[in-house]
């Protein structure tokens, strides 16, 4: 008889990569387990139970929903993802009381950015937080995590302090997306940590397209400073290129219009936001994808999807991203060294080099990231 697993996640107000990854994990787990997906939905309008939960760490309605599922489904394992804010931390008490083995997956570094009310404690010795993109303004005292709201910032700081305390004390298995993140947690005194990659399932019909004739570089994602979009634009302007086109997929409205006017951006096409299927088709025909992110990142979908199709990626050698590529990969650049980024772009003119790197990353993907390997690791965690 198959084990019963509940997957618990609070969906973000704006659908993003983490939501898409969880959908794929649920599909993968159904190959070996009886799975029940329990989703909570964050809303812009808060009710009284939401307000109370910010102060006591428990959401009455969310707890009630989970108790009902447990009673009816009788799960043996709980796989918990995002708990901010609707799920609340109260769910862990319920899971423990019902003696349900619990695995907590952490996708980002928010826990370390919201554990203090002081902006100085958040930013530490950085000008910019590489975990979340936070920048401290002059004379800023409060750790205003949400730049557009003091109230939301206070709520997440109350939540974050409680969440970090839970991470330090829990005996549940915590899984993260790369060894860099595991080591990061270990340094904070959190040791029950394992690495479990996100599954990336790509339609075989779009894998292995011929890219020799492709003249496009693709960036897909958020168009924000912390994702390095303006650094990418500046580097592109300096790139002496009459051959290639840079395709930007993302919400152009999020760009600063004055900043945008400062760049020439020749041979740049903006496609605004596209669904995942449309994005994959464009990536599959690209010569390479490129990112200049300033953040540690977890397992960026842009890189993972490109990797799974053998599309080379230019990325900053930083945080855990290097773990998704072979050691002798030649298209990573030194973080914040944009002359090096431009140098990597010039390597793309060489067809033989591009084809060689493509074969290399495809072999690496098949060895380390095929979904059967990820499923086996999950099996091992719950034995």
Alpha helices in 170-322 (DSSP H): 179-187, 229-238, 257-261, 276-284, 301-308
What's the number of CA atoms in the CB half-sphere (13 Å) around residue 186? 10
pTM, to two decimals = 0.94
Same domain, 191 and 177: yes
The string of pLDDT tens digits covering residues 98-126 is: 999 999 999 999 999 999 999 999 988 77
Kindly report the backbone phi and psi dihedral angles of residue 95, in degrees, each rounded to the nearest multiple of 5, phi listed first: -65, -40
- Taken in order 58, 61, 63, 64, is the CA torsion positive or negative? positive
Same domain, 79 and 187: yes
Same domain, 211 and 326: yes
Same domain, 181 and 216: no
378, two tokens: 């999950």
Same domain, 106 and 192: yes
Of 228, 233, 120, 104, the closest CA to residue 163 belongs to 104
pLDDT value, residue 136: 85
**If pLDDT is split at 50, 70 and 90, which confidence band does 205 have?**
low
pLDDT value, residue 16: 67
The string of pLDDT tens digits covering residues 303-332 is: 999 998 889 999 999 999 999 999 999 999
Same domain, 151 and 215: no
Of 299, 294, 325, the closest CA to residue 312 belongs to 325
The CATH number of the domain holding residue 320 is: 3.40.50.2000
Range of the domain at 149: 4-200+371-382
Kindly report the backbone phi and psi dihedral angles of residue 368, in degrees, each rounded to the nearest multiple of 5, phi listed first: -115, -20
Run of H or E including 69: helix 60-73
Same domain, 36 and 127: yes
Q: Is 85 in contact with 159 (CB distance < 8 Å)?
A: yes
CA distances from 274 to 11, 12, 115, 235 (A): 19, 18, 35, 24
Same domain, 285 and 375: no
Bridge partners, 332 (sequence order): 315
> When comparing pLDDT for 207 and 59, which is higher?
59
228, two tokens: 């390095």
The share of the chain scoring above pLDDT 70, in percent, equals 96
Alpha helices in 188-337 (DSSP H): 229-238, 257-261, 276-284, 301-308
How many domains is the chain built from? 2
Give the lowest-confidence range in 8-22, 244-258, 335-349.
8-22
Same domain, 25 and 110: yes
Kindly report the backbone phi and psi dihedral angles of residue 180, in degrees, each rounded to the nearest multiple of 5, phi listed first: -55, -45
Q: Is 101 in contact with 382 (CB distance < 8 Å)?
A: yes
Bridge partners, 40 (sequence order): 10
Alpha-carbon distance of 310 to 299, in angstroms, equals 16
The CATH number of the domain holding residue 154 is: 3.40.50
Same domain, 185 and 303: no
Task: Give the pairing of strands 216-220 and 245-249.
Answer: parallel
Above 70 in pLDDT, residue 132? yes
């Amino acid at each position: 008889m198959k084990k019963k697993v509940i997957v618990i996640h609070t969906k973000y107000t704006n659908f993003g990569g983490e939501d898409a990854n969880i959908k794929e994990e649920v599909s993968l787990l159904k190959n070996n387990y009886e799975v029940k997906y329990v989703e909570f939905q964050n809303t812009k309008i808060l009710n009284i139970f939401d307000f109370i939960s910010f102060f006591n760490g428990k959401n009455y309605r969310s707890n009630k929903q989970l108790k009902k599922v447990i009673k009816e489904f009788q799960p043996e394992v709980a796989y918990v993802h995002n708990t901010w804010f609707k799920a609340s931390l109260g769910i862990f008490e319920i899971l423990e009381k019902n003696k349900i083995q619990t695995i907590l997956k952490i996708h980002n570094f928010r826990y370390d950015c919201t554990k203090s009310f002081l902006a100085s404690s958040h930013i530490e010795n950085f000008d910019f937080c590489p975990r979340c993109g936070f920048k401290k303004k002059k004379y800023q005292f409060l750790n205003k995590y949400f730049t557009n709201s003091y109230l939301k910032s206070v709520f997440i700081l109350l939540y974050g302090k409680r969440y970090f305390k839970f991470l330090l004390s829990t005996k549940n298995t915590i899984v993260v997306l790369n060894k860099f993140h595991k080591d990061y947690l270990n340094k904070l005194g959190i040791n029950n940590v394992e690495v479990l990659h996100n599954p990336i399932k790509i339609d075989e019909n779009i894998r292995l397209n011929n890219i020799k004739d492709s003249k496009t570089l693709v960036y897909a994602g958020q168009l924000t400073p912390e994702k390095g979009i303006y650094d990418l634009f500046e580097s592109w302007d300096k790139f002496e290129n009459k051959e290639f086109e840079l395709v930007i997929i993302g919400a152009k409205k999020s760009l600063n219009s004055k900043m945008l006017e400062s760049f020439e951006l020749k041979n740049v096409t903006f496609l605004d936001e596209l669904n995942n299927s449309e994005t994959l088709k464009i990536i599959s025909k690209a010569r390479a994808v490129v990112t200049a992110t300033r953040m540690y990142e977890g397992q960026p979908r842009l890189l993972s999807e490109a990797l799974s199709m053998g599309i080379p990626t230019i990325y900053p050698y930083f945080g855990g991203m290097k773990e998704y590529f072979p050691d002798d990969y030649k298209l990573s650049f030194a973080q914040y060294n944009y002359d090096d980024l431009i140098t990597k772009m010039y390597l793309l003119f060489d067809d033989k080099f591009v084809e060689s790197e493509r074969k290399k990353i495809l072999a690496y993907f098949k060895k380390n990231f095929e979904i059967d390997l990820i499923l086996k690791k999950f099996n091992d965690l719950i034995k």
